[in-house]
């Protein structure tokens, strides 16, 4: 059994010309893409046995840009059905398994993208991130995942979850490679790796509450490492962060229900029961509540903008718990718990990345550190994350 079969990271295996070629021809770097992103001539399943209707007519914008940058596409990756789920579960194609420990969740919804990179099936991958779907699997599989500023990278040719919050997520084993993918998707991006380390704000309050002790230990060590590097480090509070997930869901769920309205009406039994339940939550949100949530989010973004006049980067755990075991995990409850620190930054709209912070002192599993910044400031995230990564050394 191959690695991709054992981990169930890939839905479709592609064999592009020139990969691994010899005789003087340079080997091209390899990429996989989440199977809610169109690749010309290949069916897009969106992780659903009933979704694909035929090969995509054209590449998604991000796939076209990857090809132009010289990447060879080698596969389309597994995901939670319709990109809705944080554990890696998929009833149609099989649950994707964590690259470090198959008994633990792979994260989601970009599970296969993270596992493909962590297991060495591709050099880089593209996931998507709405409420944490790129950062969570990056964290639990010990790789880097970058959620760009909302709107920075095209989502044309990507099946939406919620257009108000959807992004495409570059994923790689190290920060430099992930930043290189972002540069391929947006040539205007420049990492600006030289210069002083950014001012680091360590988030307390909501982001320190109910954090599992082993995760908190790794985060404290990350903060100490930044201090040791000479970065200015101060405690901060992210205003209203505890409310952000609920307010965001009042927008996200109705948008997701609208994407799948026909399917919900005509063939609901063909949708995974947990996904169907979450889509139907969107049908129950009255328009006035969604309008109120949008107004609240505007104010939230202004309050967090003010915080970023005092610091350049805010540091938090990516997820507040050790990587959960797959057996007996409650999908709905685990999604709320696992994603509570990622949703806040999705609601804000600036860039955020997960970088491996270290290994959990009890389980040995990777623990992700989340770095977030003001809109358009991916450069400061990359600078901080690269400095941290160099000082931390390899996880394995």
Token pair belonging to 261: 């309205």
pLDDT in tens, the chain (396 residues): 677 679 999 999 997 655 654 444 568 999 999 999 999 999 999 999 888 778 999 999 999 999 999 999 999 999 999 999 999 999 999 999 999 999 999 999 999 999 999 999 999 999 999 999 999 999 999 999 999 999 999 999 999 999 999 999 999 999 999 999 999 999 999 866 667 899 999 999 999 999 999 999 999 999 999 999 999 999 999 999 999 999 999 999 999 999 999 999 999 999 999 899 999 999 999 999 999 999 999 999 999 999 999 999 999 999 999 999 998 776 666 677 899 999 999 999 999 999 999 999 999 999 999 999 999 999 999 999 999 999 999 886
DSSP state of 100: S
Q: Which residue has the tokens 């947006």?
A: 186
Q: By three-state DSSP, how is residue 47 classified?
A: coil
Name the region of 104 (left: φ>0; alpha: ψ -120 to 50; beta: rest).
Answer: beta
- Selecting among 109, 110, 111, 162, the annotated active-site residue is 109
> What φ, ψ does residue 342 adopt, rounded to 5°?
-90, -35
DSSP E strands, 67-207: 72-77, 124-129, 144-147, 167-172, 200-203
Nearest-angstrom CA–CA distance, 4 and 7:
5
- Selecting among 48, 113, 122, 133, the annotated active-site residue is 133
Token pair belonging to 134: 């790129």
Could you check whether the bond before residue 109 is cis, i.e. omega within 30 degrees of 0? yes
Catalytic site includes residue 76:
no
- Selecting among 34, 48, 76, 334, the annotated active-site residue is 34
Q: By three-state DSSP, how is residue 22 classified?
A: coil
The residues near 158 (Cβ < 8 Å, ≥ 6 apart) are 36, 37, 38, 60, 62, 128, 166, 168
Contact 138, 112 (CB under 8 A): no
Beta strands 233-236 and 167-172 are unpaired
Q: Which of 105, 130, 84 is nearest to 278 (CA)?
A: 84
């Amino acid at each position: 059994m191959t690695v991709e079969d054992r981990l169930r990271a890939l839905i479709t295996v592609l064999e592009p010309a020139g990969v691994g070629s010899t005789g003087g021809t340079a080997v091209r770097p390899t990429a996989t893409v989440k199977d809610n992103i169109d690749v010309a001539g290949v069916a897009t399943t969106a992780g659903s046995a009933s979704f694909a209707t035929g090969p995509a007519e054209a590449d998604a914008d991000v796939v076209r840009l990857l090809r132009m940058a010289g990447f060879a596409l080698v596969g389309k990756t597994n995901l939670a059905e319709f990109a809705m789920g944080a554990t890696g579960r998929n009833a149609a194609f099989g649950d994707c398994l964590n690259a470090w420990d198959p008994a633990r969740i792979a994260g989601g919804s970009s599970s296969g993208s993270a596992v493909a990179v962590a297991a060495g099936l591709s050099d880089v991958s593209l996931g998507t991130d709405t409420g944490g779907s790129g950062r969570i699997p990056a964290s639990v599989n010990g790789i880097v995942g970058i959620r760009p500023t909302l709107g920075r990278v095209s989502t044309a040719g990507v099946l939406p979850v919620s257009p108000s919050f959807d992004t495409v997520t570059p994923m790689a084993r190290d920060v430099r490679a992930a930043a290189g993918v972002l540069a391929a998707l947006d040539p205007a991006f420049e990492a600006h790796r030289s210069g002083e380390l950014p001012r680091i704000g360590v988030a307390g309050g909501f982001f320190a509450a109910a954090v599992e002790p082993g995760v908190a230990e790794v985060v404290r060590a990350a903060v100490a490492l930044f201090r040791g590097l000479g970065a200015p480090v101060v405690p901060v509070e992210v205003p209203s962060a505890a409310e952000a997930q609920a307010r965001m869901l009042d927008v996200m769920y109705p948008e997701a229900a609208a994407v799948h309205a026909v399917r919900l009406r005509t063939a609901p039994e063909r949708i995974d029961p947990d996904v169907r339940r979450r889509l139907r939550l969107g049908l129950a949100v009255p328009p006035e509540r969604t309008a109120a949530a949008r107004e609240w989010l505007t104010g939230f973004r202004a309050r967090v903008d003010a915080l970023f006049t005092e610091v350049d980067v805010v540091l938090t755990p990516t997820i507040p718990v050790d990587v959960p075991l797959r057996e007996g995990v409650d999908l709905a409850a685990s999604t709320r718990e696992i994603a509570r620190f990622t949703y806040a930054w999705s609601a804000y709209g600036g860039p955020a990345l997960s970088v491996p912070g270290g290994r959990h002192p009890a389980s040995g599993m990777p623990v992700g550190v989340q770095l977030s910044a003001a809109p358009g400031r991916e450069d400061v995230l990359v600078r901080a994350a690269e400095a941290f990564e160099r000082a931390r050394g390899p996880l394995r």
